[in-house]
Structure 1
Amino acid sequence: MNMERWILVGIIAISILAIFLFVPRKKAREAWVLFLSLQIITWPAGLLAVEWKMIDYPIQLFSFANEFNRSSFTFEFFLFPVTAIIFSLYFPKKFRKIGTFFYYFLFAGFFTCLEVIIERHTELVVYQSWHGSYTLISVMVTLFINHTYYN
């Protein structure tokens, strides 16, 4: 197994560990709703970005699935949904608008920085007509939609 596949396995392992560490048992049902509702958004959006040749994921954990789905299983079905769970469960209710914006920016920035680093140093993500700023904006919008649904 090459380094890229180990990175994908590590991201899934960290995502699962984060669920156990950061999701209280009494909020497990809410976490599942957040997890699944975010996947409803990310799956078609990821497919469109790949089909429109904006972004490419040349190395997949399940290479046999490349024929049917070229989007990133690891990012769209694990890392981003877990990030959204933590985002919404710990969303501070007493922030003013500027504080709320920075909270969104912090989470979207984390996700974007991770993707940009992976894009530059591995073969997991290849930007074609995509840019890191598109990730930042799309993640912020997606978190907003998902959090609004959660509320």
Structure 2
Amino acid sequence: MERIILWSLLIIGITLLFSSLRKPPIKNWIIIFSLSSYFSTFVGVLVVEEKMLEYPVRFLSNYFSSSLLYEYLLFPVVCIYFYQTTYGSRYLNMVLQCILYTTVLTIIEVFFERYTELIKYHTWTWIYTFISTFILMMFIRFLMQLINSKERYI
């Protein structure tokens, strides 16, 4: 059952990725995708190597101990959509939307932790997921805002 879920999430992730890249500025979407992949992988590897959680069933399990699907595809795609929906937003609206996106991701993770073998918490809890996801999404959002503001002056 877990393999079916993984393959379904892969198809959904690829579909959403191509859908998110359909409107300009594509350069921003690719930068967001790359930055969020980089930072989520960094955090994910630390958490897994510290044995705070594990992914018993995952893609390329012989080579990677973290979740490639989440760190390299699903989370970056969510970050693109978060940026797209907050592009012209004020700070409060941005924070509220980030809370919404983070809540949905956390609920999905808790569901997978309780009812599947895709993720198992050891010392990790859902609140760590919520906080780390929120901080990471806001950091990437502000980093993109900084990149775009510097680009205007060049």
Q: Structure 1: which 5+ runs fail to align?
A: none
The one-letter amino acid paired with 1:74 is L
After superposition, the CA RMSD in angstroms is 1.4
Q: Find 1:74's aligned residue among 69, 77, 88.
A: 69
Look up the match of 2:50. 52
Look up the match of 1:150. 144
Q: How many residues align?
A: 145
Which runs of 4 or more aligned residues in structure 1 lie more than 4 Å from their structure 2 counterparts after TM superposition? Answer: none
Alignment of 1:80-91 (within 5 A): 80-91=75-86
State the secondary structure of the residue aligned to 1:63.
coil
TM-score by length of 1: 0.89
Q: Find 1:64's aligned residue among 62, 65, 70.
A: 62
Q: Structure 2: which 5+ runs fail to align?
A: 146-154
Q: Is the 8 A contact 2:2 2:57 kept in 1?
A: yes
Corresponding position: 1:129 with 2:127 = no
* Residue 20 of structure 1: how far off its partner (Å): 2.5
* Residue 136 of structure 1: how far off its partner (Å): 0.6
State the secondary structure of the residue aligned to 1:64.
coil
Q: Is the 8 A contact 1:23 1:86 kept in 2?
A: no
| CA distance in structure 1 between the aligned counterparts of 2:41 and 2:87, rounded to whole angstroms | 27
